[in-house]
Structure 1
Amino acid sequence: MHIPVIAFCLLAITLTANANPGQAASADEQSRINIVFILADDLGYGDLGCYGQRHFKTPNLDRLAEGGMMFTDHYAGSTVCAPSRACLLTGQHTGHVFQRFNGPVQFRPDPQDTTVARVLSDAGYHTGMIGKSGLSCNSPDGTLPNRKGFDFFYGYTSHEEAHRYYPKFLWKNGRRVEFPGNSGQQGDVYSGDVFRDAAMAYLEENANRPFFLHLALQQPHADLAVTERWKTPFLGHFEEIPFEGDHYRAEPNPKATFAGMVTYLDHTVGLVIEKLEELGIADNTLVIFSSDNGAMSEGGWSSEYFNSSGPLRGGKRDMYEGGIRVPTIAYWPGTIAPSSKTSHVSAFWDFAPTAFELAGIEASYELDGISYAPTLLGRDAEQAKHDHLYWEFYEKGGKQAVRWGKWKGVRLDVSLDRDGPIELYDLSTDLGEANDIASQHPQVVAHIEQLMRSAHVESEIVSFNPRESKQRQIKPVN
């Protein structure tokens, strides 16, 4: 299906498909909306002050919410990073997208696995991705982001390497940038500083033409690591349980470090907003902030320490709300009503159609998403709604989940029984998913089971049956 494009007077433009990015932008091009999508890594629903966090402050993101719109019912693409980011960048859910699991898999050549960056780039946008690439989970191919539609890329193509905040090298447009003073878990160049500076430079260099920047930051994913400036203010404030290290680096003060990582993330977002204002393009730029999945419990950290999942059950690798419902803020001064809040049910695969609609582009491939542009613009009566949302996950015995209106269905141990029991929760009265009421609503369960069956398309590279799956040889990546 093709997603229809609604013409807004503010956004009515003529696209030039082969615009030369080296030329000065025309008046029409300058009027086209810029898009910045900032993605945190393993940030829980309750890790921001505006979503209830009280152990530390996130003033910049709280101000973003005050000046924009908070989403209360927005969902990540998956409960782990690689498939979640694939959903974000393609507009497809995990029942359809190619990259459905964490492991050595990457996007296929165009026109397969078409990205939002490719469509925007072809329509004349300059496109950039800085940080952790969502186009592969573990890949040594530093040219992949550029081939998949990003005109500029600086960061990691391996999520396992992105566990480290002191990289030995990063990829910049297919070229290795070496950091000889870094050993991975320690060093003299912190990756967050590199990405912050690259983002500032990108905005300055592209302020006079329409652009899409995907800033994919690492915080607060383990390793637990942040520079002393951000950790020191929290030392001695919490009862700490030192972490001796395993796959992740040792950290004697996990709570202080985690708080410092989130405040560092918050500061970086603040600098992006300041730069947009300084360049005079804030009013023409949509900024979206979100997280790739729910709160983690690894590397010496537990999501329970600071109630990172807020009122939600579970966290990363769960199909309960704490694993997939994520804090999300949209900011567009003069367009999005300040201090607004929406309970519109949306997901990562809605971003691509939203970006296309706001840019005046019609998608040339099938999307699972529905544009939430009407919600951003305060036109709720025009907002199309999902009949349901669907997720599947291949670790921990295999899992499926569906949200259908107020109902949430979760099926566990799918690898053992594709037709196994489904847990049912009424999110309108049981946000924490504490009471399984499947036995009371057999017809609802039957409908959710049908939705799970219809939403899943068999994959050529992964299966819920381990004996049929190439994933059996794949080591999961956190």
Structure 2
Amino acid sequence: MKKLVSLAIGLISLSALTFGQNKKPNIVFILADDLGYGDLGVYGQKIIKTPNIDCLAKQGKLFTNFYAGTTVCAPSRSSLLTGLHTGHTYIRGNKEIQPEGQEPLPDSVETYAQLLQKAGYVTGAFGKWGLGMVGTSGEPAKKGFDQFFGYNCQRQSHRYYPTHLWENNKKIILQGNDLKHKATYAPELIQQKTFAFIDKNKDKPFFLFVPTVLPHAELQGPDDVFLKMYKGKLTEKPYKGNDYGPDATVPGYASEPDAHATYAAMVSRMDFYVGEILQKLDKLGLTENTIIIFSSDNGSHREGGADPEFFNSSGGLRGNKRDLYEGGIRVPFIVKWPGKIKADSKSQFVGAFWDLMPTFTELTHAAKPRNSDGLSIVNELLGKPKQKQHEYLYWEFHEGGGRQAVKMGNWKAVRLEVDKNPNGIPELYDLAKDPAEKNNLASQNPEIVNKMEKYMGEAHRESILFPFAKN
């Protein structure tokens, strides 16, 4: 009898061990807003302190050639969630809907969050959405998220002390917040809701998406330890006001006089929030079975008095947000998975947001996406051979006269003024020799230019909502 009991206990223990080994990994994806490639210490930042994200990189893998979906928020996030580059994804620009919200993703569009839901994951998003107002086909609940809390509308997210946030389909009024009064700092409230999601779902496989609004304009925040770290120590620069958005410039609403100190404090506060999430996972014993990803939705910004040149926010690359030069689209990308991804490793793999959909579905054994421009980068993450490579990467941008860009190997082509001259000769740069894109080599390499033009033509599928002016 004792032998039978011992055998039964052994089988139960073996079963538990096997289950533990095969348990689906949690995924925590933290997406900064308008954080430049060079804004983190681990990517060369010399002024702003980001110890938690720097530590994350030391514990995982840092990518040096990873790209956002495009150079502004809504289309970049559409590319991220749908696995399609901006020549194919449904949302290709910041198209506003009144009185609140942006052009919604339609019912026909599938996100990776929906596929993870079907694979048994609990899903939550906490921060900024911008892909469909409540009540539309693009609201978070219809695009794969069991729980959402934050700013549904990216226009509203310019304010760190907003009048309201959204919890699923419920409007949460923040008492005491208006154009002059600051009672509730929204990022802190969103952080607490993020913790509650982790606590509630710690015993289930979960996908946690944290699209934080930091350090997006406006330049504002509490006058606390983060601001004190920099105030008086950086060059004084009068605050220009928040000059982005139709209703954003409000006299007296944003009054912090030192824009440099405020921006640095916002980045350090974001880093602190990342550290808090990591500590939460540690405390609950979830770290070993959790894939943690950090990135940014596009390059560094200039809104609200931000000064990317002062901080070298683009890390020596050309351009900022709204450019298709490297500084507008190359972003930090860090992944940690203890015991699976080699600590303190770096990758030169050339990837982009549309790679995450096939990567997530492979990691979670979810159904493959119906359509994707991406490649699974699981082999690259795990240090395995035979990682597939992109033939090329493609971006388009529907403001500033229309722009297109292609990256093929070391070559990068950028076409400007597409609306006026859709067949204009693109600029051409050799990023291996000229990462700052200073020397246009188009006239010296007509065959390469012709190939890049061919890629631009085949990658762009016409959109009724977001046409180039010629159409």
Q: Which amino acid aligns with 2:33?
A: D
Pairing partner for 2:140 from 145, 150, 162: 145
Pairing partner for 1:171 from 163, 166, 179: 166
Q: How does 1:254-293 map to 2 (within 5 A)?
A: 254-293=259-298
Task: State the secondary structure of the residue aligned to 1:429.
Answer: coil
| Residue deviations 1:200-240 (CA, integer Å, cap 9, x gap) | 11111111111101001011111001211121221111111
Partner of 2:367: 362
Partner of 1:89: 81
For the Cα contact (< 8 Å) 2:415–2:427, is it kept in 1?
Answer: yes
Correspondence 1:346 to 2:351: yes
Pairing partner for 1:299 from 290, 300, 304: 304
Q: Which amino acid aligns with 1:265?
A: M
For the Cα contact (< 8 Å) 2:87–2:460, is it kept in 1?
Answer: yes
Unaligned runs of 5+ residues in structure 1 are 1-25, 469-478
How many residues in Structure 1 have an aligned counterpart in Structure 2?
A: 438
Pairing partner for 2:418 from 414, 417, 426: 414
Q: How does 1:372-387 map to 2 (within 5 A)?
A: 372-379=377-384, 381-387=385-391
For the Cα contact (< 8 Å) 2:165–2:172, is it kept in 1?
Answer: yes
For the Cα contact (< 8 Å) 2:105–2:131, is it kept in 1?
Answer: no
In structure 2, what is the Cα distance between the partners aligned to 1:199 and 1:436? 46
For the Cα contact (< 8 Å) 1:164–1:185, is it kept in 2?
Answer: no
For the Cα contact (< 8 Å) 2:112–2:369, is it kept in 1?
Answer: no
For the Cα contact (< 8 Å) 2:299–2:320, is it kept in 1?
Answer: yes
Q: 1:199 to 1:417 in 2, by over 3 A?
A: same
For the Cα contact (< 8 Å) 1:251–1:300, is it kept in 2?
Answer: no
Q: Which has the larger radius of gyration?
A: 2
Partner of 2:394: 390
Partner of 2:120: 124
For the Cα contact (< 8 Å) 1:126–1:210, is it kept in 2?
Answer: yes
| Residue deviations 1:227-272 (CA, integer Å, cap 9, x gap) | 1112122111111111142435343110110010000000000011
Task: State the secondary structure of the residue aligned to 2:299.
Answer: coil
Q: How does 1:420-431 map to 2 (within 5 A)?
A: 420-431=424-435
| Residue deviations 1:58-91 (CA, integer Å, cap 9, x gap) | 0000000000010000000010000000000000
Distance apart, 1:191 and its partner CA: 1.0
Pairing partner for 2:340 from 331, 335, 346: 335
Distance apart, 1:320 and its partner CA: 0.3
Correspondence 1:106 to 2:110: no
Give the superposed CA RMSD: 1.6
Partner of 1:133: 129
For the Cα contact (< 8 Å) 1:166–1:185, is it kept in 2?
Answer: no
- The two structures have a TM-score, normalised by structure 2, of 0.90
Q: 1:141 to 1:251 in 2, by over 3 A?
A: farther
Partner of 1:48: 40
Distance apart, 1:157 and its partner CA: 1.3
Partner of 1:66: 58
For the Cα contact (< 8 Å) 1:30–1:210, is it kept in 2?
Answer: no
Identity of aligned residues (%): 47
Higher deviation after alignment, 99-108 or 277-286: 99-108
Task: State the secondary structure of the residue aligned to 1:299.
Answer: helix
Correspondence 1:223 to 2:218: yes
For the Cα contact (< 8 Å) 1:165–1:184, is it kept in 2?
Answer: no
Q: Which amino acid aligns with 2:404?
A: Q
Unaligned runs of 5+ residues in structure 2 are 1-17, 97-101
Partner of 1:115: 111
Distance apart, 1:361 and its partner CA: 2.1
Higher deviation after alignment, 179-188 or 204-213: 179-188
For the Cα contact (< 8 Å) 2:130–2:153, is it kept in 1?
Answer: no
For the Cα contact (< 8 Å) 1:75–1:347, is it kept in 2?
Answer: yes
Q: Which amino acid aligns with 1:202?
A: F
For the Cα contact (< 8 Å) 2:76–2:298, is it kept in 1?
Answer: yes
- The two structures have a TM-score, normalised by structure 1, of 0.89
Distance apart, 1:34 and its partner CA: 0.7
Q: 1:310 to 1:186 in 2, by over 3 A?
A: farther
For the Cα contact (< 8 Å) 2:119–2:367, is it kept in 1?
Answer: no
Higher deviation after alignment, 84-93 or 101-110: 101-110
| Residue deviations 1:403-435 (CA, integer Å, cap 9, x gap) | 001100000000001101210000111000010
Partner of 2:5: none
Higher deviation after alignment, 225-234 or 46-55: 225-234
In structure 1, what is the Cα distance between the partners aligned to 2:179 and 2:120? 38
For the Cα contact (< 8 Å) 1:164–1:184, is it kept in 2?
Answer: no
For the Cα contact (< 8 Å) 1:75–1:348, is it kept in 2?
Answer: yes
Partner of 1:238: 234
In structure 1, what is the Cα distance between the partners aligned to 2:406 and 2:62? 23
